[in-house]
Amino acid sequence: MNRREYLVALTGLSAVPWTGAMAAVPSILHVFGALPPPDRVRRVFAAGGPAAILTHVLAPDKLLGWPWPLSIEARALLAPLVRNLPMLGRLAGRGSTLPLEKLVALKPDLIVDGGAVDATYLSAAERVWRQTGIPYVLVDGRLAESARQLRETGALLGVAARGEQLARYAEETLSNRCNRAVFPRPGVYLARTADGLETPLAGSVNGECIEAACAVNVARGPGGGLARVSREQVLAWMPDAIVSQYPEFHVLARQDAFWRRLPAVRDGRLLLAPALPFGWLDGPPSINRLLGARWLASRLHDPSARTDWVDFARDFNALFYGHAPTREELMRLPGLT
């Protein structure tokens, strides 16, 4: 990459106010510190789950470790290259589990962080940069911005072609699908935890896969995060479909009298999404959700389609995670059996 290309790449990345066309489309990347040239980025520290998956799909050889302990089941579905990476901990302001000294000792060329972008996270990122001198990139983690996350972070990590390839997949998944979808859009309740009574409210980052699947999150309430709700409230919302990533909830909903009475469950619109190697719908909220968005859209709008989801998951895993699990391995996942 010559100096000109490098500068062009930077324009897409810098948090510094830019002039001209850039001002119209504010960058989704917020950069603190001087970025190394992309071809010199070899060691990337991912500050949290979303960033780790973003880095993993783009440049698995540059990822230094995982911010959280991966389960044995998740490791088994990942490429050998990243399967045995160490658990390093996360950077999240006061919720950090990685001491900054250890961060410095890891000698990363770059820290990538992803998720919500607000003054709290921006100032925390800036502080880490000032204390350690390691350049810090905070990526806006909204699902709708997946293509730009892949493209712009790819350019930054020196894997622009890879970023472009995955960004196209993201665009195809997220763009214009809703034009063909039915109206009114189905109301979906996303059940979390074993009891199913924790849910992301509409607008929350954890429920974005619902909107991406051309459906409406029925959970409207004060605040924009996760909430506990009552069974009575779920009944009042009367969702058209109930979707979950928790096999225990799926079992409960088919046995418990209350859940079985709900039309969504009675009429076979209780959907279980696989959660390995990463959640299809959420957990962590990152690029992994593209798979869930496609799956959910198809299950909601085209229930008679005979999509082989095992094959589909295999292709997605091969493309994004660089490793195609066997059919047998995938068939064992709750939600794909």
Partner 1 sequence: MKLAGQSTVLRLTVLSAPLLAALLAAFAFGPYPLSPAEALAALWAGPSAESDAATVMWQLRLPRILAGLLVGAALSAAGAAYQGMFRNPLVSPDILGVSAGAGLGAALAIYFGLSLAAVQALAFAGGLLAVAAVVFVAGRVRRHDPVLVLVLAGVAVGTLFGAGISLVKVLADPSVQLPSITFWLLGGLNVVSPGDLVLAAPLVAMGLLPMALLRWRVNLLSLSDEEAAALGVNVARLRSTLIVSATLVTAAAVSIAGVVGWIGLVVPHAVRLLVGPEFSRLLPASLLLGGGFLVAADTLARSAAAIELPLGILTALVGAPVFLWLLARPGRGGT
Which residues bind to partner 1, rule: CB under 8 A?
Answer: 48-49, 68, 90, 92, 95, 97, 192-195, 197-198, 201, 206, 219-223, 225-233, 235-236, 248, 252, 256-258, 261, 279, 282-285
Handedness of CA 228, 233, 235, 238 (dihedral sign): negative
Tokens of 34: 């001087």
CB of 125 to partner 1, least distance (A): 16
Nearer to partner 1, 93 or 133 (CB): 93
E strands of the chain, at which residues?
Answer: 29-32, 44-46, 110-115, 136-140, 187-191, 198-200, 216-217, 226-228, 241-244, 270-272
CB of 140 to partner 1, least distance (A): 16
Nearer to partner 1, 96 or 298 (CB): 96
The DSSP call for residue 244 is E
CB of 20 to partner 1, least distance (A): 37
Q: At what angle do helices 160-174 and 49-58 cross, to 10 degrees?
A: 120
Give the number of other Cβ atoms within 10 Å of residue 87's Cβ. 13
Nearer to partner 1, 184 or 223 (CB): 223
CB of 208 to partner 1, least distance (A): 12
CB of 292 to partner 1, least distance (A): 14
Chain centroid to CA 187: 22
Chain centroid to CA 155: 19
Nearer to partner 1, 132 or 193 (CB): 193
Nearer to partner 1, 149 or 206 (CB): 206
